[in-house]
Amino acid sequence: MGRPLHQSNFLYRDFYPLLKRAGLPRVRFHDLRHSAATLLLEMDVHPKVVSEMLGHSQIGITLDLYSHVTVTMQQQAVTALDTLFGGQSGGQPEVVEDETPARARSSVGQSSGLIIRRSQVRGLPRPPR
């Protein structure tokens, strides 16, 4: 307590032990920037605001570097299109394993007809086996 932070020992003295105590995987400190930007964009914070927070001169830099399509964003897009076209599908996209043949899939609940392969969405965790 009360010790100054030094760049040379911050990761090993403070950051990595904090991740371990929290039960989180070891990640690079810079990954927090990417995660924060992606989460803010996913929470519908306007991309211009996120871009300014990150100090980017152009909004395209933020969108290209610090965001990727998540399942939530896919579902929001399907819901928006569903609303636009009169709510005919009434379902959510179905996330399938990359190796799942189309004929072997079974729908749980209502499906929108959109199939999302797990490899299309970066960072999507694998289900437990």
Domain match, 45 and 79 both: no
- What is the dihedral sign for C-alpha 38, 68, 18, 4? negative
Structure token pair of residue 73: 């964003």
Domain match, 61 and 40 both: yes
43 part of a folded domain: yes
Q: Of the candidates 23, 45, 65, which is a domain's last residue?
A: 65
127 part of a folded domain: no
More confident call, 123 vs 6: 6
82 part of a folded domain: yes
pLDDT at 103 over 80: no
Domain match, 14 and 41 both: yes
Quick: pLDDT tens for 51-78: 999 999 999 998 888 767 667 777 778 8
Domain match, 79 and 111 both: yes
Q: How many domains does the chain have?
A: 2
Domain match, 21 and 61 both: yes
The rounded distance, in Å, linking the Cα atoms of 49 and 55 is 10
56 part of a folded domain: yes
Q: How many CB atoms are closer than 10 A to CB 78? A: 19
129 part of a folded domain: no
Domain match, 16 and 59 both: yes
126 part of a folded domain: no
Quick: pLDDT tens for 15-45: 999 999 999 999 998 898 888 888 898 888 9
Domain match, 60 and 78 both: no
The DSSP-derived string for 53-71 is HHT-SSHHHHHHHS----H
Domain match, 18 and 47 both: yes
